[in-house]
Amino acid sequence: MDSHGQNEQQVVWTVVGTDIGPLLLAATREGLVNVVFHATAEVRDKALGRLADRLGAVPVEAPGSPLLAEAIRQVEAYFSGTRRDFELPLDWSLISGFNRQVLRELASGVPFGAVVGYGDLAKRVGQPGAAQAVGMAMGANPLPVVVPCHRVVESDGGIGGFGGGLEAKRKLLALEGVLPEPLF
């Protein structure tokens, strides 16, 4: 608590190595708040600066923090193939409105090993015809992998876009058995 009896925002982070490259995981007392692809020093520093601006607290590197322990365990288990679903408290404070509605539907309604079209996801949230807006929501997802935007594909069978890059999307879909493993 600060001197006014208010709970100060606490943001902790670490970087976890995965099959799709280093992921930055950041958490607050509410839950996992951000997952960032390609967490090299430069990407990490920009992401941490954005988090500080948005959340009003300077993120602290704390790989041993209890706030991160379960997220680290579950991410590692997912990439090792021993976990299919994430069961983590999530802090949705970085996203709101339509984007939050779409991402919550995605998280709860599109299971491991399944995919959904952008238009189908728009219909699920009562906004038929909003496929492009769903694509924008996927691009704004602050919790990729955990909130599985890689499971959203084009209705014509195309893979669609992905903030982590198409190679990462293909690897995630292969991990979930949706696509065959790349030959090389």
Known catalytic membership, residue 149:
yes
Q: Can you name the residues that pair with 26 across neighbouring β-strands? A: 13, 34
Angle between helices 97-109 and 131-139 (to 10 degrees): 90
> Which one from 110, 149, 152, 153 is the annotated catalytic residue?
149
Distance (Å, whole) CA 40 – CA 50: 15
Give the residue numbers marked as catalytic. 149
